[in-house]
Amino acid sequence: FLPETIDRVKQQTYKNFEIIIVNDGSDDPHTINVLTELSKDNSLTILHKENGRMSSARNYGVKHAKGGIIVPLDADDYFHPTFFEKAVPLLFSDPQIGVVTSYIRKFGKDTGLFKVRGGNIYNFLFSNQCPACAMIKRTCWDEIGGYDEEMKLGFEDWEFYLRLTAAGYKVHVIPKALFYYRQTHKSTLHNDTYPNKGILVDYILKKHKDVY
């Protein structure tokens, strides 16, 4: 899905951005062929690293980013073409806003509309209310130290937003489905996160005992 995802990013009506692709240790021949083909596009930056899972890959990409805005995006998902254009002014409309997201349109194996709530720390205590694929102020990212790389099985985005909202920032939600979340049988959420939910929640509770 990576070439499709890159094509959709390039369709954004807001054009002032860079695209960084992080290969998190894959040596799959098909993946390498896809990356080799994409490397012919000089507008893309392609980075290779040892496998460290989601948190490590995103943190690695951000370390190489030049801009003051970060937008993580998984290789099989995409945004509506107007998301950047709508989200950028909102992100800087209030110093308390650290993240801008939107409703989520699920597609693929499962379909439906998920209306995340965003908001402050109280909305994030017992469930995640913002997808990992959202627009984040770089200053906020740096302040809280990015993703926890010990979290390799999922919920790393939930834990990230707990720290962000605990620091006093809030998540603004655009009440339209501008993020498209692909559902497949291979998803980390279904194969790694849900089967280990108890372990992951216990980790979060112990790490944020003061907040709870």
| Residues 101, 176 contacting (CB under 8 angstroms) | no
HSE-up of 29 (CA within 13 Å, CB side)? 0
Give mean pLDDT, residues 32-61: 94
CA distance 72 to 124: 19
pLDDT tens-digit map of 177-187: 999 999 877 76
What predicted TM-score, i.e. pTM, was given to this entire model?
0.93
Task: Supply the pLDDT for residue 211.
Answer: 93
Residue with token string 């799959």:
28
- Res 144: pLDDT: 97
| Tally of CA atoms within 13 A in the half-sphere of 139 that contains its CB | 7
pLDDT 10s digits, 121-177? 999 999 999 999 999 999 999 999 999 999 999 899 999 999 999 999 999 999 999
The whole-number average pLDDT for the span 190-202 is 83
Q: Say yes or no to pLDDT of 188 above 70.
A: no
